[in-house]
Every structure is written in structure tokens, then in C-alpha cells.
Amino acid sequence: MDKLKYALLVFLGACSYGILSTVLKLGLLEGFKVEQILGGQYFFGWCMLLVLMLIFSRVRVSLKQIGALLLAGIPMSLTGIFYSIAVEELPASLAVLLLFQFTWIGVILEAVWERKFPSRNKIISIVVLIIGTLFAGGVLEQSGGHWTTLGVVLGLLSALTFAVYIFVSGKVATNVPVLSKSFIMVSGALIILFSVFSPSFLFDGSLAQGVWKYSIPQALLGSIIPVIFFAIGVPKVGPGLGTILGAAELPAAVIVSVLVLREQVTGLQWFGIILILVGIVIPQIAGVWRNKRQNKRRFTETADHSA
């Protein structure tokens, strides 16, 4: 049951990421730029985590751990940068499809790290997730549309960096308290983001114009909740299962866009969402069955030994 609890945290963190696209669209509709909203997201997220860390997690972290966590934050911001540019270069459905290649990339990263072939349940889950993504992203119902080589490359890079981010969340400095770990990782992400996108939102008047109404929710949903939940959950469930649970981002994105933006979703897209949820659940059910079999075997062996 403990593993299911941690799996739920990763699932909820992924759902939190899924809501970001709707908040971003609302900000763009009001006339703000991606770099303004994204910059505000990481800046306000960094400030909130700083306050939380100073209140609840005043611990000494070694320079080696700080360096490792700063580097671990880099793929977090790179995912947002690569994906935001890919969305501008490609049809939204294709950009989503490319991003969601992180599911199998994460499983491969774990397999290489542990030098162990992925389990049959994980492979089945990945196949179901990929098929579900094709339907949920609306790829099968749209024509090719305009696309560029740059967009495809950046879309695939966003998948790679997101998989790496989930992987390092479960491997780097796992003994550092979660708030301190999350703050340092977001610090690394903020440095990279401001190296690519100018922090213009701080002085161009967009804060007074209301970009904070979108950046603060983005900070909560993209830089605090999922970062903390991943830092807690991924080390317990493993990076491979963590990336599978991360696929919850797409169903959450579609459902929230329907509720908030009143976007139309076809029957095939709903079918894809159901497939994604099935793909997420497969490893969880397999784990429960495996634990039941092991407990039953132990009980039988104990009974035989007593007799």
C-alpha cells in the first residue's frame, strides 16, 4: 500500500503539470508572451519554495549535493523551453505526441541504469500509452498541417529532458529533505531559463498588467506541487514507473481544457484518454497481484513449516 501512496503522489504531480497548458492558453489569450508567463512561473515558484524552505526545512546541504541538484534542475526548465518553441513550430497534436515519447525514454533510462530489461508489464503499459496518446492527441483525426524540422527536433528534445528530469528526481540526493531539494532544483531551472529567456517580465510592465494572475498559478502547478510530489514519490516507485505515471499529464490537460476553455473533444480522443489511464493502471495492478502472490506464498510456507 505504501508504494500505491507514492504512486498516487507522482500521478497527482503529473496531473498538476497537465493543468499548465490551460493556464498558459488563458494568459496568451490576454496578450502575454510565453517567456513572460514562463519566467514568472519559475520566479514566483522559486520565491515560494524559498519561504517554505526557510520555515520548514533549515538543514545544511553539502556543496556536492547542491551542485548535483542544481544540475538536476536543468532538464526541468529545458523541457518548458523546448516544448514552448515546439508548440509554435508544430500543430499542437504533433507537439504533444512528441513530448509524450518521454514514457518509453524513461523506461529505457531506468533499464540502462539498472542493467535490467524492462518487465513485461511495463512494456505492455508503454505500448498502451503510445496508442492512447495517438488517439488523445487527435493526431489520427487531423491532416499533416504545418511543421518544421526545428519543431520536431525540439519536441523530441522536450521528451528526452522530461524523462531525464523524472529520472534524476528519483536518483539525485534522495536523502536531502524534500523542500530543500525542490528549492535547489528550481534554482537550477531558474538560472537556465533566465539564460535563454530574458527576465523582461520584471521590468516591462507586464506584472502591473496582470501576468502574475497566470504566473502564480503556473508556479504552484508547475514549480511547486509536481516538483515536491516527484521528489517524494519517484524515489519510492522508481524512474521507470514514474515516467509511466507521468503520462497522466495528457488526460488532465484535455479534461481541464474542456472544463475551462470549452474545447471540443472527440469520441476518439476520449477513447485515447481511457487507454492512457489503463496504461497507467497496468503496472499498479500487476504490483498488487505480485504482492498478494508473495504474501500467499509466505503464508503457505509458514503453515507448512509449522505443520
- pLDDT by residue (tens digit) across 105-121? 888 888 888 888 888 88
**Of 69-78, 144-153, 196-205, which range is least confident?**
144-153
Averaged confidence pLDDT in the chain: 84
CA–centroid distance for 268 within its chain: 24
Place of cell 479534461: 255
The region of weakest confidence among 108-112, 209-213, 239-243, 295-299 is 295-299
Q: What is the DSSP letter of 224?
A: I
Mean per-residue pLDDT, 58-82: 90
Percent of the chain topping pLDDT 90: 24
Structure confidence at residue 295 (pLDDT)? 61
Task: Report the pLDDT value the prediction gives residue 141, as an integer from 0 to 100.
Answer: 66
Contact partners, residue 240, CB within 8 Å, separation at least 6:
106, 107, 109, 110, 111, 118, 122
Does pLDDT of 283 surpass 80? no
CA neighbor of 228 nearest in space, from 59, 7, 49, 79: 49
* Whole-prediction pTM: 0.82
With a cut of 90, say whether residue 288 has pLDDT above it: no
Q: State mean pLDDT over 240-261.
A: 84
Number of domains in the chain: 1
Classify residue 252 as left (phi > 0), alpha (psi -120 to 50) or beta: alpha
pLDDT of residue 216: 94
Q: Would you say residue 146 has pLDDT above 80?
A: no
pLDDT band at 71 (very low <50, low <70, confident <90, very high): very high
pLDDT recorded at residue 220: 94
Least-confidence region, from 40-49, 82-91, 264-273, 288-297: 288-297
Separation of alpha carbons 33 and 290, rounded Å:
49
Quick check: 53 and 179 in contact, CB under 8 A?
yes
Sequence-separated contacts (24+) of 104-108 with Cβ below 8 Å: 104/130, 105/159, 105/160, 105/163, 105/243, 106/163, 106/166, 106/167, 106/239, 106/240, 106/242, 106/243, 106/244, 106/246, 107/240, 107/243, 107/244
Residue 104 near residue 176, CB atoms below 8 Å: no
Of residues 303 and 258, more confidence is placed in: 258
Cα gap 206→201, rounded to integer Å: 6
* CA dist list (Å): 49 to 75, 187, 236: 18, 10, 22
Helix residue spans in 137-266 (DSSP H): 149-169, 178-196, 206-209, 212-218, 225-237, 239-246, 249-261
Element at 5 (helix H, strand E): helix 2-29
Question: Which positions ≥6 away from 306 have C-beta within 8 Å?
Answer: none
Return the pLDDT at 93. Answer: 65
- Which domain covers residue 149, as residue numbers? 2-306
Confidence grade of residue 273 (pLDDT, cut at 50, 70, 90): confident
